[in-house]
C-alpha cells in the first residue's frame, strides 16, 4: 500500500506513474492502426479492386427457334463476347453449344408478353446463366436476331 501512495504522490508532484509512457505508446499505436484501417475501408472500398475484364474473341452463334408458352415462338441469335482469359476450347471447340442450350432452357415456355416487354431483363438473366456455364469467361452477349411470332 505504501508503494501506491508513493506513486500517487510522485504523480501529483509532476512525475508520471511507473509504466505510464509505455501505456501511452501502446494506446497511440492502437489508435494509428484503427485509423489506418478505417481510412482503408472508407476510401479504398474495403477490398482490393479487381481489374475489369478485357474483351477477347467474339463468337457468333446461329439463330435458334425457341417454343414459347401459348404456341408462340422466339427466333433468337446471339453473339458471345469472351474475355481474354477464355480458353481455346471454350471459344472454338464448343461452337457455342452450351450457350445455345442455356438460351433454350431460359426462354422455353416463357410467355410471349414477357419476351416482348422484358427483353433487357431476360437478357441480363441469360448473360448471368451463360457466364456461369463458361466459368465467367463471357463478359457480354449481344442479340443479333430477336423475332417473336
Return per-residue pLDDT of the chain as tens, 149 residues. 555 555 555 555 555 556 677 777 778 777 777 777 777 766 665 455 567 777 778 888 999 999 999 899 999 999 988 887 766 666 665 667 888 999 999 999 899 999 999 999 999 999 999 989 888 888 899 999 999 98
The pTM for the full model equals: 0.61
Whether residue 72 contacts residue 148, with contact meaning beta carbons closer than 8 Å, is answered with: yes
Task: Enter the C-alpha cell of residue 136.
Answer: 465467367
Q: CATH for 55-148, among 3.40.50.720, 3.30.479.30, 3.40.1350.10, 1.20.1050.40?
A: 3.30.479.30
Whether residue 50 contacts residue 85, with contact meaning beta carbons closer than 8 Å, is answered with: no
Distance of alpha carbon 115 from alpha carbon 88, whole angstroms: 33
| CA distances (Å), origin 36, targets 24, 44, 48, 83 | 18, 11, 15, 36
Going from N- to C-terminal start, the domains of the chain cover 2-43, 55-148
Amino acid at each position: 500500500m505504501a508503494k501506491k501512495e508513493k506513486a500517487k504522490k510522485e504523480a501529483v508532484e509532476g512525475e508520471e506513474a511507473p509504466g505510464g509512457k509505455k501505456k501511452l505508446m501502446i494506446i497511440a499505436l492502437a489508435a494509428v492502426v484503427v485509423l489506418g484501417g478505417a481510412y482503408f475501408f472508407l476510401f479504398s472500398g474495403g477490398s482490393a479492386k479487381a481489374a475489369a475484364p478485357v474483351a477477347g474473341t467474339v463468337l457468333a452463334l446461329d439463330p435458334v427457334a425457341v417454343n414459347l408458352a401459348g404456341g408462340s415462338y422466339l427466333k433468337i441469335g446471339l453473339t458471345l463476347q469472351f474475355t481474354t482469359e477464355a480458353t481455346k476450347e471454350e471459344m472454338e471447340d464448343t461452337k457455342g453449344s452450351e450457350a445455345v442450350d442455356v438460351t433454350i432452357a431460359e426462354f422455353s415456355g416463357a410467355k410471349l408478353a414477357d419476351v416482348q416487354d422484358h427483353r433487357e431483363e431476360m437478357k441480363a438473366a441469360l448473360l448471368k446463366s451463360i457466364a456461369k456455364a463458361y466459368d465467367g469467361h463471357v463478359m457480354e452477349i449481344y442479340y443479333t436476331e430477336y423475332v417473336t411470332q
